[in-house]
Every structure is written in C-alpha cells, then in structure tokens.
Chains A and B, each alone.
Chain A
Amino acid sequence: MDHGATTRPDPEVVNAMLPFFNEFFGNASSLHNFGQEAAQALVSSRKTVADFLGAEPEEIIFTSGGTESDNLALKGIAYLKKNKGKHIITSVIEHPAILNTCKYLGDIGYRITYVPVDDQGLIDPADVEDAVTDDTILISIMHANNEIGTIQPIKEISAIAYECGVLVHTDAVQSVGKMPVNVDDLGVDMLSISAHKIYGPKGVGALYVRKGTRLQGLSQGGSHEMKKRAGTENIPGIVGMAKAVELAEQRLEGDTKYLENLRDTMIRKILDSIPESYLNGHPTKRLCNNVHVRFSYVEGESLLMMLNMKGVAVSTGSACSSKSLEPSHVLAALGIMPEEIHGNLRITLGRENTMDDVDYVVENLVDIVKKLRAMSPIAPKD
C-alpha cells in the first residue's frame, strides 16, 4: 500500500536484467563483441523508452533516477542559459529533488518563483503566466504530486511557456505508468521519469530532452548519453527499465481502471466509516492509485505504526515520521491548519492489491483511529 515510495520489480523485469549481469556484461563503448552486445541493448532500450513517451531515441538520456533527471534538467538549463536569464519558475509542492535544486540555484544567484496551489493542490496556469519575466529561462512544474496525487494542467502551462518562449520541464516520476504520458501531447521540452516507480529496478531513470534543446551536462568525462551524462551506462538497469516501460505500456489501460476502482472504493469507505476524516488533494484530478486522507485528533506516525503492526505498509506526510520533523510542505501549501496537519496517511495502491486488501485496510483503520482518539487529549469525548 506504499507504491508511491517504490514498487516490487516485476519478475519479467528481473529476468530481462539477469543476462546483463551474467553474460552480456560488456561496456557499451567497447568495439569488440562483448561491448557490442551491450551497445545493442542500449539502443533498443532507448527506443522502447522513447516510443513509450512519444519521443525520438536521441531525445532520451538515461540517468540514475528521478532525482538526477531533475537535477540535470534544472542545472543543465540554468548553467547554459545564465547569460540569457537567471529566473526559474516552479511550484511550492514540488518533490525535494526539484525544490532543493531550486534552492541551490537560488543560493548561487538565480531567482526562483514558487507559484502557489489551491486547497486541492492545483496550480493555476495564470499564476505561471504572471510570473514570467524577460529573464525567465525555465518553468518546472511536476506532472502529478507524489504526496497528494493531484495532476497538474501541464498542457496549459506548456502553451503559456511556448507563447513566452520559455522552456518547460515536468517531473513525471509519479504519473508515468499511471496515466498516458506523451511529450508532444504535454508540450514539454524536458521530462523526468524513474524506473522503480513502475515495477522496474532502482537506480535508473531517464530525462527526455526535446531535440534542439541544449543543456549542459553535470559531470565531465566520456561522451556517453549524447555528451549530456558522462559515465559507463548501467546496462542491466537500463534493460530493466525498458522492460518495465514495455509492461507499463501494455498494462496502462487495464491497471488504471482497476486502480481507480480500488482507490475510489477505499476513499468512500474511509470517509463514510470514520467521522472527521477528510480527503487531501483533488477528488478527480488525482493519480489512479493515490488515497491521501486526514484524520482529526490523531497523529500520522502512530497511525502508520499501528497499521504496520497489522501488516499494512503506508506512508505519512507527518512531521514526526520524517527526519526533518517539519510537517509536509505539500500539506502546508494546501492551507491545512497546523493543528490538523499531523494526522495524515498516504496510501498508494499497486497492481498486486485487491478489493480484499482495501477492506482489510479500512476495517483496521476504523479500529486504529478509534483507539488513538480514545487516547487523545484533544479529541471530543463521546
């Protein structure tokens, strides 16, 4: 129930990868047969990923994951365009991979505008338009939020960016595999994805960079990945990612419908059976697998721990379970009152979950919330 964190690699993915550890271990840059086998796998994997996104193979840069893709997109553009402009627009609810990269760029002299969201986590494209200035070089807005699952109007934002002559990047790490993601349809210049969110391996991802968009690589070295990312390619990972993408494409329609049904059932049952429970995020513009709920008078880590004792793995945006002890920046951006910000749960469903699992979680959640409220000095007495 925590598929937003990661997913179990599909057995087909693992099987596709194994020969590239055991047998085809070559370096894709070598000219001998060993190298050429690896090089061939790299070519075909790149094509699979490109096709999936509606891109050309030479527009795909393999990376170590979503965070690196985001760093490469933001810094790669910022460094190259520093003489043209030093203004970047992003949102207040981005993943830390974007937020902290922006913070870093802010520290070294760039100007960052963080556009707000409404109480359901939606960005108003008009706010993005208003933020554009003569020296804006990049707009980076996530496709779907990792905590509350709200899907952003990227198409509209891209249209504005196009009008203004500004590049657009989107972090699609959470949306890919859970809804159609096509770079032309979205109109973006760059897009980040990660393999381990779609039943692929950890440590591999990709950045789509539209043809003609120049960007500065972040590490100096060999001429791998169109000179944008030096370092011997992670062939097993890349092959695994291609397999995961292939499966995601085949399963997209069926999985989306299946998960939407589980999601909506779970949300309805929770809200119906637990008083003073609320859905965070948008009721319809949300990821097909995301259930994010808030319970008054209880604290998220306690909820998480009690569910964990029942064998249910979920996550929470609550301060107490994070190392920083700061409440979630996403929930704060929604305008949730500070005293209400602690009792949240994020349940992210996956293809292995069933309707029985949904019922099991709801039943246990009802008991757990009741137990914690009985213990809580701020809960009203029955």
Chain B
Amino acid sequence: MYSEKVMDHFSNPRNVGEIEDADGVGEVGNPVCGDMMTIYIKVEDGKLADVKFKTFGCGAAIATSSMITEMAMGMTIEEALEITRDSVADALDGLPPVKLHCSNLAADGLHAAIEDYLKKKEAGN
C-alpha cells in the first residue's frame, strides 16, 4: 500500500533528532490522534541550515517527516513556506488516500517551526 519511496524514508529516516539551540520549533498533532510531530529548524542567512524531526505515528507520519527535512534543507524561508502537504506526498510518489489527511502533518510542522522562528526574530528586534 505504500510506495517504495515511503518505505525507504520509513525504514531509513533522515535527520531524526532534536536541535539543541534551534531557531524555531514546530509541534503539530497530538498523541490522542496517534500522530504527533516536532520539527526543529536552524536558520543561517535566511536559509534553513539544519532541519530535524521527532515523530510519533504510523509509517506515513514518519516518512513524510523524513521527506520534508530533505526537501527543506538549504531552502530559503520563503521557499520552505511554499512546501505543501501535497508536495510532500508527491515527493514520496503518493500516499494512500486514507493517509493524506491524518498522517501528512509534516508541512504543517515545518510551517509552525518557521512561524516560531519569525515570531522569535520579531521579538528579538
């Protein structure tokens, strides 16, 4: 039911972990629903220098988290904000329809992390 790409990212997830001094942290989902994701970003010169994740959830939740860290790495903030749930699913050669809404939280997580970064930056100025 999962594509080869999903299975690859699920079995060898990229960029798992936390960033200690992250510039932005985005937390989405909740354990009651069975999917929860935290995305950490490090920003340098307006670009995402590092992106890491921690995810509790099904195969799709883990694979989308891993995928988005690869996609976003090195992007500018503006580019990263353009990543959507659909583009993550497309990059994985699709997700089963039933998973498209429930476990495809990675884009929300990344956007939340960027918002957190922008808010902190504003407060700092």
Please tell me if the beta carbons of A375 and B11 are within 8 angstroms of each other in the complex.
no
Please tell me if the beta carbons of A377 and B54 are within 8 angstroms of each other in the complex.
yes
For A318, what are the chain B residues with a Cβ–Cβ distance below 8 Å? 34, 58
For A339, what are the chain B residues with a Cβ–Cβ distance below 8 Å? 30-32
Q: How far is the CA of A379 from the CA of B31 in the complex (A)?
A: 11
A108 on interface, CB distance cutoff 8 Å = no
The number of residues on chain B lying at the interface, defined by a beta carbon within 8 Å of a beta carbon of chain A, is: 26
For A233, what are the chain B residues with a Cβ–Cβ distance below 8 Å? none
Tell me the chain B residues, 48-87 only, with Cβ under 8 Å from chain A: 54-62
Please tell me if the beta carbons of B16 and A319 are within 8 angstroms of each other in the complex.
no
The number of residues on chain A lying at the interface, defined by a beta carbon within 8 Å of a beta carbon of chain B, is: 26
Nearest residue, chain A, Cβ from B29: A377
For B10, what are the chain A residues with a Cβ–Cβ distance below 8 Å? 302, 305
For B36, what are the chain A residues with a Cβ–Cβ distance below 8 Å? 377-378
Q: How far is the CA of A323 from the CA of B99 in the complex (A)?
A: 10
Please tell me if the beta carbons of B32 and A297 are within 8 angstroms of each other in the complex.
no
Please tell me if the beta carbons of A376 and B55 are within 8 angstroms of each other in the complex.
yes
Please tell me if the beta carbons of A319 and B34 are within 8 angstroms of each other in the complex.
yes
- Shortest CB distance A183–B (Å): 41
Tell me the chain B residues, 5-25 only, with Cβ under 8 Å from chain A: 10-11, 13, 16
Nearest residue, chain A, Cβ from B18: A377
Q: Is the interface of B mostly helix, strand, loop or mixed?
A: mixed
A342 on interface, CB distance cutoff 8 Å = yes
Please tell me if the beta carbons of B98 and A375 are within 8 angstroms of each other in the complex.
no
Q: How far is the CA of A246 from the CA of B37 in the complex (A)?
A: 52
Q: How far is the CA of A327 from the CA of B58 in the complex (A)?
A: 13
Please tell me if the beta carbons of A298 and B32 are within 8 angstroms of each other in the complex.
no
For B104, what are the chain A residues with a Cβ–Cβ distance below 8 Å? none
Please tell me if the beta carbons of B57 and A299 are within 8 angstroms of each other in the complex.
yes
Q: How far is the CA of A302 from the CA of B60 in the complex (A)?
A: 9
Please tell me if the beta carbons of B56 and A299 are within 8 angstroms of each other in the complex.
yes
For B34, what are the chain A residues with a Cβ–Cβ distance below 8 Å? 299, 318-320, 327, 341-342
For B38, what are the chain A residues with a Cβ–Cβ distance below 8 Å? 377
Nearest residue, chain A, Cβ from B65: A375
Please tell me if the beta carbons of B59 and A376 are within 8 angstroms of each other in the complex.
no
Q: In the complex where A319-B34, A377-B38, A377-B54 touch, is A301 in contact with B59 (Cβ < 8 A)?
A: yes
Q: Given A302-B57, A320-B57, A377-B38, 13 more contacts at CB 8 Å?
A: A305-B10, A306-B11, A320-B61, A320-B99, A325-B102, A327-B34, A338-B32, A339-B30, A339-B32, A342-B31, A376-B54, A377-B54, A378-B36
Enumerate the 10 nearest inter-chain pairs by beta-carbon distance, A residue then B residue, closest first.
A320-B58, A301-B58, A339-B31, A377-B54, A342-B34, A338-B32, A376-B56, A377-B38, A305-B59, A299-B57
29 contacts across the A-B interface (CB closer than 8 A): A297-B56, A299-B34, A299-B35, A299-B56, A299-B58, A302-B10, A302-B62, A306-B11, A309-B11, A318-B58, A320-B57, A320-B102, A323-B98, A325-B98, A325-B102, A327-B34, A338-B31, A339-B30, A339-B31, A341-B34, A375-B13, A375-B16, A375-B56, A375-B62, A376-B56, A377-B36, A377-B56, A378-B31, A378-B56
Chain A residues proximal to chain B, CB less than 8 Å: 297-302, 305-306, 309, 318-321, 323, 325, 327, 338-339, 341-342, 374-379
